[in-house]
């Protein structure tokens, strides 16, 4: 089961059934009396059980924050029920090295992953992109070493180099989770 943010229990929570916002001390929804999502799995829950409904999940739907729920619960969520991460806004951003298409030179770029797109910029405060991919068409694959990965769009592939293996893993996980959250 995905680990639930420790601070999520101290926040308001939205009912997955009726979407009513409930205070942090309520254990059931004030509107429809549905049980509050919990971070503690039941005794009978397996590693493949949805953390919301505790049903066996043959498929997982990930949020950009990397928490997951079953497809049925996912259809009812606008935000992650655990950490309240919205499906819109910036998911991840940071400096990477991107190999140029034609000259194959490595260039430092500011990369931004949003709910609907992945973009690179020459600097952190520049509005003009150097690359723009729609998340519905993006695929991320590990590269030849532990710091590189490939972004494949509809017609292009781009090599991305991160500062280390953990940075590469964080980018790839965020891209996979964002891609999986797109209907």
Give residue-wise pLDDT tens across range 12-63: 666 666 666 666 666 677 777 777 665 444 444 567 788 888 888 777 777 6
CA distance 73 to 90: 23
Q: How far is CA 142 from the centre of its chain?
A: 18
Work out the angle at residue 110's Cα, subtended by the Cα atoms of residues 183 and 147, and round it to the nearest 5 degrees: 80
pTM tops 0.75: no
Cα-Cα-Cα-Cα dihedral sign, residues 74, 15, 11, 114: positive
CA distance 181 to 59: 12
Residue 140: strand, helix, or coil: strand
Specify the pLDDT at position 12. Answer: 60
Specify the pLDDT at position 10. Answer: 38
Residue 61: strand, helix, or coil: strand
Work out the number of other CB atoms within 10 angstroms of the CB of residue 68.
23
Specify the pLDDT at position 6. Answer: 37
CA distance 122 to 58: 42
Specify the pLDDT at position 3. Answer: 34
């Amino acid at each position: 089961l995905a680990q639930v943010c420790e601070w999520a229990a101290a926040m308001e929570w939205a009912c997955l059934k009726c979407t009513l916002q409930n205070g942090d001390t309520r254990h059931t929804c004030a509107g429809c009396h549905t049980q509050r999502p919990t971070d503690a799995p039941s005794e009978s829950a397996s590693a493949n059980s949805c953390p919301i409904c505790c049903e066996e999940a043959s498929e997982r739907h990930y949020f950009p924050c990397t928490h997951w729920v079953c497809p049925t619960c996912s259809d009812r969520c606008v935000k992650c029920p655990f950490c309240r991460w919205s499906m819109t806004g910036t998911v991840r951003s940071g400096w990477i090295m991107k190999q140029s298409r034609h000259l194959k030179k490595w260039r430092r770029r500011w990369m931004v992953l949003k709910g609907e797109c992945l973009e690179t910029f020459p600097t952190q405060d520049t509005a003009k992109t150097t690359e723009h991919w729609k998340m519905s068409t993006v695929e991320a694959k590990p590269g030849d070493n532990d710091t590189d990965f490939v972004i494949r769009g509809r017609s292009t592939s781009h090599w991305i180099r991160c500062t280390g293996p953990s940075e590469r893993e964080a980018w790839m996980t965020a891209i996979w989770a964002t891609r999986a959250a797109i209907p």
